[in-house]
Amino acid sequence: MDHRKVAPMEMYSVARHQLEFYKSVLCYLRFHIPSFSLSQWQIRIEQAIRSTITSQPRLRLQVDVARKEPFYIVLPMDVFDVLPLKILERTHDDEEREFLENVVTDECNTGFPLNSTSPLWRIVLVVPSHGDTVDLIWTYSHALADGISGMALFTSFVRCLAEKPTVIFTLDKDQPMNELIPYKLPPLSSLIMKIVENLILPGFLKQHLFPQTFWAGNIQLTGDEWNRTRQVSFQIPGDILDSLHKKCRSKQTTVHAALLASFILAVTDVFGKKNMEFSCGSAVNMRRFCHPVVSNEQIGIFVSAAPSYHYIPYSEHLSDLFWPLAGQIKEQITQEIENETISFIHTLKFVSDWKEMLIKHRKTSPNGYRSSVEISNLLRWTFETTDPTWKVLSGGFAQSANLVGGTFVISAVTVNDILEVIVGFQEHTFNDVDQVKLMKNRMKTTLVDAISL
């Protein structure tokens, strides 16, 4: 059954999936379930999943790409007679996260077919052979939903699991983002520069007048490399996170900006280049800019990006640059949201061939990447229950590394006061993964040390 035409921002994701430039996005929750029994809990979990499909009917959507203009179609309910649920058993100690991290990486490297027989999402349930820690991973296509949607799904799921009332959304109100955000032109000077850069100048002049010199990895790529995501991660516990929040407020910046500043300084330090330039893209949750405002508990694609550009001069003491850089990042992102991000959404409707556009970006950008890093921060989510048989411990958010996106992709979310940061990258981009691990460790220590600066 037809639903509606795929809208511009959604088409960007459809094209990425078709070209295998991007595979999937996921969120997960870690549960503490004393005396866990799969035979008892599987029925309860499947009931909660089915109730979540009812409350979030966008989970029934697929994409028909056989037409000239792709359409969302609504899958019949009998498709879900057998749920896309896979159960894996963790055979080692529950406190070890290696098994979970490996499953998350595998999920980020597995895409979804666009057809009329299977949904654009799946679930992996990781259960203990002996223990009480259970992980539930919800993976989905970005053509179906954005990062915030993963936490929205879990909001519905946890309420269903607790047998509490749940908000019921309808497909009748599933409108594309560009129809909900008032049209706004960018500043005239910015508009003129973009017209000159993208429409008037021939390619060779554009490269000289608008050079892209940002850091995009240290290996010259051919453009034919295999698409395989690798990931490293770290967590910041609640007490340290609270201190970081307070410090950010006193410095008039945000944790998001602090995360990005820690990344920039860690790359500068570990990869050993002086006077580095960074092009960064920060995902922006556009739900609050819609009219009417869209709830964060509603799934869909309501995301755009705010670019920022940063030059890091040589310094013997990079830590001295942290808070000024974090402040600069916040200011740039705020300006971009006001001046560019909203208007950008409406310019997408003029893209006539999405595949051609993505292939062009892949061929003409430094090492194929449009930025040094893309960062998505889903902010804070709290999952509480009065049921003594289970509770949510923590959670995470991850996604594929994008062949036409950032050299790194940072995915962050705070669940029940624990911040988890997952750093993704293409496997072929770095010869020495230990350098990436060192960079990740430097990010964490930079954040923690900045609290006392």
- The pLDDT confidence band at residue 94, using thresholds 50, 70 and 90, is low
- The pLDDT confidence band at residue 183, using thresholds 50, 70 and 90, is confident
- Selection from 428, 348, 407 nearest residue 178 by Cα: 348
Pairing relationship of beta strands 71-74 and 121-128 according to DSSP bridges: unpaired
- Selection from 419, 424, 374, 429 nearest residue 396 by Cα: 419
Q: Are residues 123 and 161 both part of a single domain?
A: yes
Is the pTM for the entire model greater than 0.85?
yes
What pLDDT does residue 210 have? 43
**Three-state DSSP state, 406:** strand
Report whether 413 contacts 151 (CB < 8 A).
Answer: yes
Residue 180 lies in a domain: no
What pLDDT does residue 363 have? 83
172-181, 202-211, 254-263, 420-429: least confidently modelled range: 202-211
- Rounded Cα distance between 42 and 89, Å, is 13
- Selection from 309, 313, 328 nearest residue 274 by Cα: 313
Burial per residue of 51-69, b for 16 or more beta-carbon CB atoms within 10 angstroms, e otherwise: bbbebbbbbbbbbbbeeee
Q: What are phi and psi of 47, to 5 degrees?
A: -60, -40
**Most confidently modeled range among 91-100, 274-283, 388-397:** 388-397
Average pLDDT rounded to a whole number, residues 301-312: 94
Residue 292, preceding bond cis, omega within 30 degrees? yes
**CATH value at residue 225:** 3.30.559.30
Higher pLDDT, 227 or 304: 304
Q: Are residues 150 and 251 both part of a single domain?
A: no
201 pLDDT more than 50: no
Residue 386 lies in a domain: no
The number of folded domains in the chain is 2
Q: Are residues 166 and 199 both part of a single domain?
A: no
Residue 391 lies in a domain: no
- Selection from 287, 163, 153, 279 nearest residue 213 by Cα: 279
Residue 181 lies in a domain: no
Residue 179 lies in a domain: no
Please write the tens of the pLDDT for every residue from 58-87.
999 999 999 988 999 999 999 999 999 999
Q: Are residues 239 and 314 both part of a single domain?
A: yes
Q: Are residues 92 and 224 both part of a single domain?
A: no
Q: Are residues 205 and 134 both part of a single domain?
A: no
Q: Are residues 56 and 115 both part of a single domain?
A: yes
Structural domain of 293: 192-380+399-450
- Selection from 423, 381, 433 nearest residue 152 by Cα: 381
Provide the total of helices (H) and of strands (E) in the chain, helices listed first.
Answer: 13, 14
Summary mean pLDDT of the chain: 90
Average pLDDT rounded to a whole number, residues 269-297: 93
**Three-state DSSP state, 201:** coil
Q: Are residues 364 and 323 both part of a single domain?
A: yes
Report whether 261 contacts 270 (CB < 8 A).
Answer: no
Average pLDDT rounded to a whole number, residues 110-128: 96
Q: Are residues 309 and 445 both part of a single domain?
A: yes
255-270 vs 433-450: helix crossing angle, rounded to 10 = 130
- Selection from 62, 447, 434 nearest residue 230 by Cα: 434
Average pLDDT rounded to a whole number, residues 183-188: 63
- The pLDDT confidence band at residue 208, using thresholds 50, 70 and 90, is very low
Please write the tens of the pLDDT for every residue from 309-363.
999 988 888 999 999 999 999 999 999 998 888 888 888 888 889 999 899 888 8
Q: Are residues 157 and 209 both part of a single domain?
A: no
CA 1, distance to chain mean position in Å, is: 30
95 pLDDT more than 80: no
What pLDDT does residue 202 have? 47
Please write the tens of the pLDDT for every residue from 37-60.
999 999 999 999 999 999 999 999
Q: Are residues 109 and 152 both part of a single domain?
A: yes
What pLDDT does residue 204 have? 43
- The pLDDT confidence band at residue 432, using thresholds 50, 70 and 90, is confident
Residue 184 lies in a domain: no
- Exposed/middle/buried for 416, CB within 10 Å: 0-12, 13-18, 19+? middle
Domain's final residue, options 148, 174, 200: 174
**CATH value at residue 135:** 3.30.559.10
* Token pair of 447 as six digits: 């954040």
Average pLDDT rounded to a whole number, residues 172-196: 72
Residue 8, preceding bond cis, omega within 30 degrees? no
Q: Are residues 297 and 336 both part of a single domain?
A: yes
What pLDDT does residue 339 have? 83
Residue 183 lies in a domain: no
End-to-end CA distance of the chain: 58
Domain's final residue, options 144, 174, 204: 174
Residue 364 lies in a domain: yes
Please write the tens of the pLDDT for every residue from 376-397.
999 999 999 999 999 999 999 9
- Rounded Cα distance between 341 and 334, Å, is 10
User: Strand order of the sheet with strand 61-64?
Assistant: 2-5, 71-74, 61-64
